[in-house]
Amino acid sequence: EIKDEFRGLPKYIFDDKRIRKFFAETKEKYILYGEWLIKHTVNYDPEFMNRFWIFDVYDKEEHRYLKYPEYEDMLVTEKLDYIPVILTITDPTMDILLRMVREKEHTPKSGFGADAIEGLVYKNYDFINRFGNNVYMKAVTKDFYEIHRTVMGGAGKRIDPEVYLIHKYQTPARMEKMYHKMVDDHGTLQMKHIPEFMNRVLHDLFVEDAWNMFMRDKSVKKLRFDMGTLRKVSYAMSKNWYIDKLRQRGTDGDDKEGKEEDKDSKGE
């Protein structure tokens, strides 16, 4: 079922014999990530437009992203469009990475014909953060930053209303309150309680502060916002806070305070 046409992308994917052949031959083992290169804020050369450019391949069986040398031959064999790696570097310092971006600022055009280069994306496929995610880094050029500074930060920066509301009203104190209520209910908290915690925090947020958030807060009173996005931002903050809390309590995900309370009650 197609939920969003996204300016022709689903039709392009279904009509592209190369992509269909790739999925058929690999028995849909992989997920292809890429950029649907259509006209937006950056102008690219016409021959690159309206094409899906692959930049990552995920192995569903091994639950990991393939490294570039692992998937390059597959894409070349099927003649799929992909974004090539510029350089492979071992243990670079931050100064080296930033210098590479500064050097790109003097390049007249990008490899896809854009008048300005956004920046560089650095990938370490072996790095997994504490939340179990494989994260990348993007360093942007000075010109790109200045053009988009209202979104990225700086003087007069603009923040999405959903992000603003959650960061203002979903305070650590609120999450701490809900956490201890769950300790009272369950005694021992584990990773399996994350969904309940996220929903409790969001419910408390709406019950206690809906009027302040949507009617009285002058910063967003006249702005339109999306409830689905608001929920996602809230869930993400709650999940990260909860995982950090469990790590503070112990690596096994148990709540030590809850255990101590259980021991005391048994002793009585």
* 47-57 pLDDT, tens digit each: 999 999 999 99
| More confident site: 185 or 213 | 185
Dihedral sign for Cα 179, 183, 184, 186, please. positive
As a whole number of angstroms, the distance between CA 24 and CA 150 comes to 44
Residue 170: closest CA among 217, 116, 230, 218: 230
As a whole number of angstroms, the distance between CA 186 and CA 88 comes to 49
User: Which residues, other chains included, contact 115 with Cβ-Cβ below 8 Å and sequence gap of 6+?
Assistant: 42, 43, 109
- Integer CA distances (angstroms), 212 to 72, 77, 194, 206, 233, in order: 53, 58, 27, 10, 18
Domain residue ranges in the chain? 7-85, 87-158, 161-261
Report the range out of 27-41, 72-86, 149-163, 225-239 with the highest average pLDDT: 72-86
Q: Is the pLDDT of residue 79 over 60?
A: yes
Measured in whole angstroms, the distance separating CA 231 from the mean position of its chain's CA atoms is 15
Q: Is the pLDDT of residue 218 over 80?
A: no
As a whole number of angstroms, the distance between CA 30 and CA 27 comes to 8
Please say whether the structural domain 7-85 has been given the CATH code 3.30.470.30.
yes
As a whole number of angstroms, the distance between CA 187 and CA 258 comes to 5
Would you call 154 helix, strand, or coil by DSSP? coil
Cβ 149 vs Cβ 212: under 8 Å: no
Q: Is the pLDDT of residue 214 over 90?
A: no
**What residue type is 159 in one-letter code?**
I
